[in-house]
Chain A
Amino acid sequence: MRFINSQPHNKIAEVIEASTTQFAAQCYELYGLPPLGSLVKTGDIYGIVAEAKTESLEPGRKPIARGKDETSEEAVYESSPQLLKLLRSEFTAVVVGHKDGEKLCQYLPPRPAHIHNFIYLCQPDEVEEFSKSLDFLNILTGAPLPVSAEELIAAVLRRMSLAHEDSRAFLVAAGKELAALFSSDFIALKNILGRLQ
């Protein structure tokens, strides 16, 4: 077995379910979720955060409302510290590419991630590097997604544009790529473009 996760940055989560097209992860911290549409990495595999949720650790046991006598939300957690252990935050990431040696490939990796692989949030320089090519948009439009593709694509591009010095130019280029992808569906294109700014 090869352990390839040795990143300088702090890990935020761990893979708990993996397939070729996506992986699910549990965050180390409750509510330590990466934002929707952010680029994460596990091993050589890149993913886009497509959905996140926080729920009870045990599927059959639903949380109950506890804040009736508390003054603030923080106070709820302070008076019931066990909550932090009974709840968990999870997210799903759609696989959008991988690294083959030094080469960045924006298509599916040959094998899925391993369970318990660590997950890192990509830093702006890496996001900029990754988004030099926009081929990953094609994967997003085709993948089965837990949220609407229009919503997700808009979120991804908004976030990525922050990593670029000329964010408008990036958005225009991405918009043109989308225009080609959605050439026969102008309404979807219009929805995404409307959410980019």
Chain B
Amino acid sequence: MNDRLGIVVAASLEKGVEVRLDSQVSVEDMVVGRYVTIEGRKHRFLGMITDVSLGVTDERLKISPPDAADPFIAEVLTGTSTFGQIHVFPRLTISGVEEPQTVKTIPAHFSAVKLTSEEDMELVFGPEDPQRFNIGNPLDMELKLCLNLEEFVKRSNGIFGKSGTGKTFLTRILLIGMLQKSKAVNLIFDMHNEYGWQGTSESGPPVKALKQLFPASVAVCTLDEENSRRRGVSTDFVVKIGYDEIEPEDIAILRSTLNLTDLAVEATYQLRRRFGKSWIQNTLDTEDPDEVKQLLEESKIHESTLQSLKRGLGTIRRLPFIEPHAPVDAVKNILDHLDRGMNVVLEFGRYRDITAYVLVANMLARRIYSQYQSRMEKAMAEGSAAPNPLVITIEEAHKFLNPEVASQTIFGTIAREMRKYNVSLLVIDQRPSGIESEVMSQMGTKITCLLDNERDIDSVLAGVSGKSELKSVLSRLAPKQQALIFGHAVPMPVAFQPVAYDTKFYSSLTGSKRTAAGEQAEKDIEELWE
């Protein structure tokens, strides 16, 4: 066999397989993260290279090294007294025609090891088909890596990575994939206005986003009409939030961003009870000293607590999209779109501060979720059709899912209850260590770009088998356009290069639907703007 890399010399299920490289194989060609196939006697094992090392048969070789300049000596010693080793962590076994299975045993001594063929990879990940979407290529392979999106949307998922590693591009690709190949509809809380209309790229011109690529199945709504208009976005509707829609729970998760005390948060519930729906308006309007005194006495709230709360509520009131009473019910509007199978992108325009984002995302998601919940319960009781599966995409997820507030936000509940009510999350974050560990453990599939903080890496990989091995792969991903995917929707973890998000990609999406005339028209328009 010409493509043989070496042979298995030691193995344990717990620690993985040691492979001694053949002398003609250069250790420098072995890359952490690549897949190799081990030809055992009964099964083929697929495993990931997780470490590469040099070995010597005699320790004295290190103390008095031979004359490396002598080509004869070098040739003799390579692969004999000095040799390359790779450490492989087996993931799957393939035997005959059966589906690939999780590894439960190890290959026999001296089993031959070679690079995994594209056929084997395709056997594991499957070909591109109506459920599977090409998300990129496994590292150093031409093969298309296909993700089963029907499976993917059955759980909450996470996309992680340091800032600037390509999370947004990856998310866009996945959103497009879901839009094309799954029945789920997406609700995207687009903090940086990158998914709806046009996205920025660090190099080159702006890139197209969902609405431009799929105008018929994406609706863009905005909190900041003026900003959207200036950017030339064709928005479908404007979202306004009424004071009367804000509940004490929404304030609770803003505790740290609004700098509220625990007592102030507690007070919101009392005020809600006292004033009913218009509690914010009434609380802020209570300025007359006598009224304040009466309020404090009756509600048993301390004056400083009320002041603190008022300051916080004042911050919310200053948000321009908050009105005493919203003219249109945003939730109903969004739900109508989702019911029609439309994906909804909510742009935040200029209101990128975290208070606005957390408040709006949590509020809308909570009400949409409760609608879904009652509909699902109804569907189960009456046997009627369940609503479209919904995937809610949130950025800066650690603000919603950190241990302090995860139990209070709706996102914590969704992440924990999983698919019970047909709603799942797509969490995008750069500080996964800030997310509550229980929530992290419930995530089905995780895709992570480069992370270099030890705690972040640990939290992303918590509970994965072969964690320390994956750690070395993860910390060595290229800073851009490389990612590691593992979890529910993929049979085994794999490092991959996401598909390039460019004109070629756009045309592969629209594919045959595109006509020559259409292309010409688009070209003309582009030229017109140049």
Asked whether, in the complex, the Cβ of B76 is within 8 Å of the Cβ of A179, the reply is: yes
Provide the A163-197 mask, 1 if CB < 8 A to any CB of B, else 0: 00000100110011011101111110110010011
Chain B's nearest CB lies how many Å from the CB of A164? 15
Provide the B54-80 mask, 1 if CB < 8 A to any CB of A, else 0: 001110110010100000110111011
Taking CB atoms, residues of chain A closer than 8 Å to B77 are 179
* Main DSSP-derived SS at the A contact region: helix
Chain B's nearest CB lies how many Å from the CB of A99? 30
Asked whether, in the complex, the Cβ of B72 is within 8 Å of the Cβ of A183, the reply is: no
Asked whether, in the complex, the Cβ of A186 is within 8 Å of the Cβ of B61, the reply is: yes
Q: Considering the chains assembled together, what is the distance between the CA atoms of A179 and B58 in angstroms?
A: 10
Asked whether, in the complex, the Cβ of B72 is within 8 Å of the Cβ of A171, the reply is: yes
> Restricting to A5-48, which residues have a CB under 8 Å from any CB of B?
none
Asked whether, in the complex, the Cβ of A180 is within 8 Å of the Cβ of B73, the reply is: no
Taking CB atoms, residues of chain B closer than 8 Å to A171 are 72
Q: Considering the chains assembled together, what is the distance between the CA atoms of A185 and B61 in angstroms?
A: 9
Asked whether, in the complex, the Cβ of B72 is within 8 Å of the Cβ of A168, the reply is: yes
- What count of chain A residues pass the 8 Å CB interface test? 19
Which interface residue of B61, B73, B81 has the most chain A CB atoms within 10 A? Answer: B81
Taking CB atoms, residues of chain B closer than 8 Å to A179 are 57, 76-77, 80-81
Which interface residue of A171, A179, A186 has the most chain B CB atoms within 10 A? Answer: A186
Count of CB-CB pairs between chains A and B under 8 Å: 47
From B56, B61, B72, A175 is in contact (CB under 8 Å) with B72
Q: Considering the chains assembled together, what is the distance between the CA atoms of A176 and B74 in angstroms?
A: 11
Q: B408 in the interface, Cβ–Cβ < 8 Å?
A: no
From B56, B58, B72, B79, A196 is in contact (CB under 8 Å) with B72
Q: B23 in the interface, Cβ–Cβ < 8 Å?
A: yes
Taking CB atoms, residues of chain B closer than 8 Å to A168 are 72
Chain B's nearest CB lies how many Å from the CB of A146? 27
Q: Considering the chains assembled together, what is the distance between the CA atoms of A188 and B58 in angstroms?
A: 11
Asked whether, in the complex, the Cβ of B79 is within 8 Å of the Cβ of A172, the reply is: no
Asked whether, in the complex, the Cβ of A186 is within 8 Å of the Cβ of B76, the reply is: no
Taking CB atoms, residues of chain B closer than 8 Å to A183 are 57-58, 80-81
Asked whether, in the complex, the Cβ of B76 is within 8 Å of the Cβ of A175, the reply is: yes
From B23, B58, B73, B80, A184 is in contact (CB under 8 Å) with B58
User: Closest B-chain residue to A184, C-beta based?
Assistant: B58
Asked whether, in the complex, the Cβ of A193 is within 8 Å of the Cβ of B73, the reply is: yes
Chain B's nearest CB lies how many Å from the CB of A192? 10
Provide the B76-109 mask, 1 if CB < 8 A to any CB of A, else 0: 1101110000000000000000000000000000
Chain A's nearest CB lies how many Å from the CB of B65? 9
Taking CB atoms, residues of chain B closer than 8 Å to A180 are 80
Q: Considering the chains assembled together, what is the distance between the CA atoms of A186 and B57 in angstroms?
A: 8
B: residues with CB less than 8 A from A are 23, 56-58, 60-61, 64, 66, 72-73, 75-77, 79-81
14 A–B contact pairs at CB < 8 A?
A171-B72, A172-B72, A172-B76, A175-B72, A175-B75, A179-B80, A179-B81, A184-B58, A185-B58, A186-B57, A186-B58, A189-B81, A196-B72, A197-B72
A: residues with CB less than 8 A from B are 168, 171-172, 175-176, 178-180, 182-187, 189-190, 193, 196-197
